[in-house]
Structure 1
Amino acid sequence: MSLICWNYQGLGAPLTGKNLRFLCGKYKPSPVFLMETRVHVRKVDRCRRSLGFQNKVYVEPVGIGGGLALWWREGINLEVILVESNIIHVKVVSGLEPIHGFISFVYGPPTIQNRRTWWRRLRGLNPRDNVPWLCCGDFNDLLYSFEKEGGRTRPLRSFEEFQSFMSSCQLMDLDFKGMRFTWSNNRLEGANVKERLDRALCNGVWRNDCPNAQVQIVVVWALYCEMLRAKW
């Protein structure tokens, strides 16, 4: 079974819809988490129905930006705990065995001034008490300086919020296969900037339950998507 997290960057483009249909046909994922849908949920829901997902939860975009979608199939029981502009937090009741506990699907605020409050909010979702927790999506931030190539060098203190979150919640970064970076500004040569913004984090209990889980960075027709493939 697979889980797809994708910063969709607009459902209105025909090519992105073709990419999503290709990925869903190849990997048979459930759930699917889409970020930056940028269109009204009516259009997102038409896409959901065409791909055969029975369950959903949405966050409407604001203006021409934002928008989240989480889809999952019949037979999977997810209890939706929290829905906000940058987080969809669910409890896995059944159907994703051996996964239990909680999954936080995240899209970090693009602006720096909003991130500190967001990190505190995300830290507050930590279930503790040896309960499995998976946190995945586009964090819009970096853990280390080597996760960026090109552009201005970031000061070391700019990584402290993310690192503090990881440490206080006792999370680990799942290993990944594929391309090193998940975002690019698509400029040429010296103006090109690449960063690793997408990842999956989990606590030790979740890792023990799913020791073979892995993250794959998949490139489809020059578009990036992060896919978490847990082999169970």
Structure 2
Amino acid sequence: MFSSMGLFFNNLGYTASTTVDPVGRVGGIWLLWIPTQVSVSAFVANQQVIQATVKRKDYEDWVLAAVYASPNIRLRQTLWEDLEDTAYSMTKPWLIAGDFTEISEQNERRSFIQNLQHSRSRKFTDNIHS
């Protein structure tokens, strides 16, 4: 499947990439770009995030963090700690985007365990603000 997807994206001009392979049927991140448009240099690539500096002529360099957070709460907490460590030293514009496997407000999900969800959504919002 991945080779056919790679061919599909190559045909669209996205001929450069950084990838983190899935483990079984879980996870996996693809960061694709058109090398004639931008230069992308990954400096972190693990099961939950690819962080890369994006460069384009006549534009300020910036950093992209493409996230696919683990469904495991402990691993997800490690991701947030790593992102927070990165934030302290970040000097460039920084965009963090992706699937965080969390919600920021109660109305995004229905659950019978409201207090647990409220606590988790508050923690997620606190992490975003941090």
- TM-score after normalising by structure 1: 0.48
2:11 corresponds to which residue? 50
Same amino acid, percent of matched pairs: 23
Shift in Å, 1:80: 1.1
Tell me how far apart the structure 1 counterparts of residues 81 and 49 of structure 2 sit (CA, whole Å): 12
1:133 corresponds to which residue? 94
2:48 corresponds to which residue? 86
1:60-71 equivalences under 5 Å are: 60-71=21-32
Shift in Å, 1:160: 3.6
2:114 partner SS:
coil
Q: Output the amino acid matched with 2:48.
A: N
1:110 corresponds to which residue? 71
Residue 159 (structure 1) aligned to one of 107, 113, 121: 121
Q: Which structure shows the higher helix fraction?
A: 2
Tell me how far apart the structure 1 counterparts of residues 114 and 98 of structure 2 sit (CA, whole Å): 22
Shift in Å, 1:48: 2.2
Greater relative CO (CA pairs within 8 A, separation 6+): 1
Shift in Å, 1:117: 1.4
Structure 1 spans left out of the alignment, 5+ residues: 1-11, 13-40, 169-232
1:115 partner SS:
helix
Q: Output the amino acid matched with 1:144.
A: E
Q: Output the amino acid matched with 2:108.
A: E
Q: Output the amino acid matched with 1:91.
A: T
CA shift digits 1:182-204 (9 cap, x unpaired): xxxxxxxxxxxxxxxxxxxxxxx
CA contact (8 A) 2:64 2:95 kept: yes
Tell me how far apart the structure 2 counterparts of residues 121 and 158 of structure 1 sit (CA, whole Å): 18
1:75 corresponds to which residue? 37
CA shift digits 1:69-99 (9 cap, x unpaired): 111002311121111111010112215x656
Q: Output the amino acid matched with 1:116.
A: Q
Q: Output the amino acid matched with 2:6.
A: D
Tell me the number of residue pairs that the alignment of Structure 1 and Structure 2 aligns.
Answer: 126
Q: Which structure shows the higher strand fraction?
A: 1
CA shift digits 1:17-48 (9 cap, x unpaired): xxxxxxxxxxxxxxxxxxxxxxxx43432222
Tell me how far apart the structure 1 counterparts of residues 83 and 9 of structure 2 sit (CA, whole Å): 27
1:25 corresponds to which residue? none
Q: Output the amino acid matched with 2:50.
A: I
Shift in Å, 1:118: 1.6
Q: Output the amino acid matched with 2:100.
A: F
Structure 2 spans left out of the alignment, 5+ residues: none
